[in-house]
Amino acid sequence: MRPEEGTLISRAQAIATLLELLTDQPVVICNGFPSREAHKIADRPTHFYMIGSMGNAAAIALGVALAKPNKQVVTFDGDGNVLMGMGTLATVGALRPKNFIHVVFDNEVYGTTGNQPTISNVVPLDKVAKSAGYVNVERVLDRDDLVYEFKDMLKKDGPSLLLIKVNEFVEDAGRVVHDPVVITQRFMKAIEG
């Protein structure tokens, strides 16, 4: 069943809510609309915006988390991205980094390429993550639950996965303006120490 627009929040609303709860944590954001929307809502140097290498956001965030075990690391991912790099759910589950929070915006479509359906309507990605070994896994359908569960995950040892069912609405957001080299440099500087 496709989430009906109107009953769920949009991904942009979810991103805005999450960014209000985050401060200086590194956030690796998958390619496509998630990066563009996050960039429009709040452009922070702690954001690593991806423009290519689909399926790889969680792997990049995992690399940061393993290299900086005392820093909480967040990744904003999508259902299409998770399905493409699904092996990384297993790697995270096996390595169990305590400082890893995986947020998945699940709209059941490849939004950036024109809303072709993914298969997350029949494959519950939260259950896959739980089976793979993520410690805290929650699925939320509205803003109040999102705030409650994400605040809770920020306090807990992970790895954690928060699956947020969102509608297909796309915020009017342009491409990320920064050069990829600048994105790397300012992210490195922002997460130093």
Partner 1 sequence: MIDSDVFVQAMQELGVNFFTGVPDSMLGGIIAELMIRGVYIPAVREDEAVGMAAGAYMAGKVPAVLMQNSGLGTCLNALISLNLIYRQPCLLIVSWRGQGGNDAPEHLVMGEVMPQLLETVRIPHRTLAEKTAVEDLRWGIDTLKKRQIPVALVLTKGVVRGLHP
Give residues in contact with partner 1 (CB under 8 A): 28, 48, 50-53, 55-68, 85, 87-88, 90-91, 94-95, 180-181, 183-184, 187-188, 191-192
Q: Please tell me whether residue 104 adopts helix, strand or coil conformation.
A: strand
Query: Is the Cβ of residue 66 or residue 119 nearer to partner 1 in the bound state?
Result: 66
Q: How far is the CB of 22 from partner 1 (least distance, A)?
A: 18
Q: Please tell me whether residue 180 adopts helix, strand or coil conformation.
A: helix
100 forms bridges with which residues in the sheet? 73
Query: Is the Cβ of residue 123 or residue 144 nearer to partner 1 in the bound state?
Result: 123
Q: How far is the CB of 23 from partner 1 (least distance, A)?
A: 18
Our CA dihedral for 85, 143, 127, 47, rounded to 10 degrees, sits at 30
Q: Are 2 and 108 in contact (CB under 8 A)?
A: yes
Query: Is the Cβ of residue 15 or residue 64 nearer to partner 1 in the bound state?
Result: 64
Biggest distance spanned by C-alpha atoms of the chain: 46
Q: Please give the Cα distance from 82 to 33 (Å, whole number).
A: 15
Query: Is the Cβ of residue 77 or residue 138 nearer to partner 1 in the bound state?
Result: 77
Q: Are 106 and 162 in contact (CB under 8 A)?
A: no
**Distances in whole angstroms, Cα of residue 115 to Cα of each of 23, 33, 51, 170:** 32, 12, 18, 10
Q: How far is the CB of 174 from partner 1 (least distance, A)?
A: 19
Q: Please give the Cα distance from 46 to 186 (Å, whole number).
A: 8
Q: Please give the Cα distance from 18 to 41 (Å, whole number).
A: 11
Q: How far is the CB of 9 from partner 1 (least distance, A)?
A: 29
Query: Is the Cβ of residue 75 or residue 167 nearer to partner 1 in the bound state?
Result: 75
Q: How far is the CB of 148 from partner 1 (least distance, A)?
A: 29
Q: How far is the CB of 113 from partner 1 (least distance, A)?
A: 15
Query: Is the Cβ of residue 91 or residue 121 nearer to partner 1 in the bound state?
Result: 91
